[in-house]
């Protein structure tokens, strides 16, 4: 969940705008040109744009699968308002994104051998190994997931160390909690965009991101 989200947004918007401009440039046979019409732009609609720029009042993009160099996403849906395409990139007055980040993708982004999965009842499951008090321990935990101040937060509710000696297990359990507690800042996002909601689905993390004055520079 890092810079690849920015790449997804840029790719979807650039492709949509490129197709839109291409359609406008295609000749239409056997149809006389329409007479010019006065501008009917609403509030926020620019009177004109600079040469080489394109402005769209609203953009609605969906893709069942998106593959990036940092991992796949699924069920991606992005909506934007006041989208301006320039030689420097894109700027959207408002941008909202919903997507599913597969557990394998999120696990790879966290690294350190962390394996995430759906544990049921809206909880995330976490598996990893760590060295605790000189012992190599396999940790299995379940926890809640939430978005807080733009961060993805996973907080364990249960921690299982695989049935070690009871005294040692009790001591290590407290130490193990920090290895399965995550407060991850989603870095690499375009300026103005932040994580607003996250839930655990069967296929991965269902995330929502939103922002205003979002900049997608080239």
pLDDT at residue 218 tops 70: no
pLDDT at residue 160 tops 80: yes
Residue with tokens 């650039």: 14
Label residue 65 by pLDDT band (50, 70, 90).
confident
Helix residue ranges, H only, the chain: 4-25, 103-110, 166-176
Note the Cα 114 to chain centre separation in Å.
Answer: 19
Mean pLDDT of 69-95: 84
Mean pLDDT of 59-67: 84
Question: How many angstroms separate the CA atoms of 71 and 60, rounded?
Answer: 23
- Per-residue pLDDT of 197-209, as tens digits, reads 999 999 999 999 9
Q: Which residues lie across from 193 on neighbouring strands?
A: 211
Mean pLDDT of 123-140: 89
Q: Maximum Cα–Cα distance for the chain, whole Å?
A: 87
Q: Is 178 left (phi over 0), alpha (psi -120 to 50) or beta?
A: alpha
* pTM score of the predicted model: 0.76
Question: How many angstroms separate the CA atoms of 99 and 198, rounded?
Answer: 10
Mean pLDDT of 26-31: 48
Residue 175 corresponds to which tokens in the numbers above? 């130490």
Domain ranges of the chain: 104-185
> What is the per-residue pLDDT for 96?
92
Instruction: Supply the DSSP symbol for 179.
Output: G
Instruction: Supply the DSSP symbol for 178.
Output: G
Question: How many angstroms separate the CA atoms of 74 and 72, rounded?
Answer: 7
Question: How many angstroms separate the CA atoms of 94 and 63, rounded?
Answer: 19
pLDDT at residue 89 tops 50: yes
Label residue 12 by pLDDT band (50, 70, 90).
low
Mean pLDDT of 27-48: 56
Those residues with Cβ within 8 angstroms of residue 91's Cβ, 6 or more apart along the chain or in another chain = 83, 84, 213, 214, 215, 216
Label residue 9 by pLDDT band (50, 70, 90).
low
Mean pLDDT of 131-138: 83
Mean pLDDT of 122-131: 94
Residue with tokens 């949509």: 16
Question: How many angstroms separate the CA atoms of 4 and 71, rounded?
Answer: 8
> What is the per-residue pLDDT for 154?
95
Question: How many angstroms separate the CA atoms of 53 and 25, rounded?
Answer: 14
Residue 30 corresponds to which tokens in the numbers above? 């056997």
Residues 126, 146, 102, 214, CA torsion sign? negative
| Average pLDDT across the chain, whole number | 79
């Amino acid at each position: 969940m890092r810079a690849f989200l920015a790449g997804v947004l840029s790719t979807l918007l650039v492709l949509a705008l490129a197709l839109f401009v291409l359609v406008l440039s295609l000749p239409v046979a056997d149809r006389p040109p329409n007479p010019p019409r006065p501008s009917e732009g609403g509030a926020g609609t620019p009177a004109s744009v600079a040469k080489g720029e394109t402005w769209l009042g609203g953009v609605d993009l969906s893709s069942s699968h998106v593959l990036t160099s940092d991992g796949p996403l699924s069920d991606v849906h992005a909506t934007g308002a006041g989208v301006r395409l320039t030689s420097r990139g894109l700027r959207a007055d408002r941008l909202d994104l919903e997507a599913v980040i597969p557990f394998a993708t999120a696990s790879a982004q966290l690294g350190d051998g962390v394996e995430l999965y759906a544990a049921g009842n809206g909880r995330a499951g976490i598996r990893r190994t760590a060295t605790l008090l000189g012992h190599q321990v396999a940790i299995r935990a379940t926890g809640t997931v939430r978005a807080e101040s733009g961060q993805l937060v996973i907080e364990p509710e249960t921690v299982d160390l695989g049935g070690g000696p009871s005294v040692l297990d009790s001591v290590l359990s407290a130490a193990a909690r920090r290895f399965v507690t995550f407060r991850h800042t989603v870095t690499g996002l375009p300026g103005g965009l932040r994580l607003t909601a996250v839930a655990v689905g069967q296929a991965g993390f269902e995330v929502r991101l939103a922002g205003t004055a979002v900049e997608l520079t080239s």
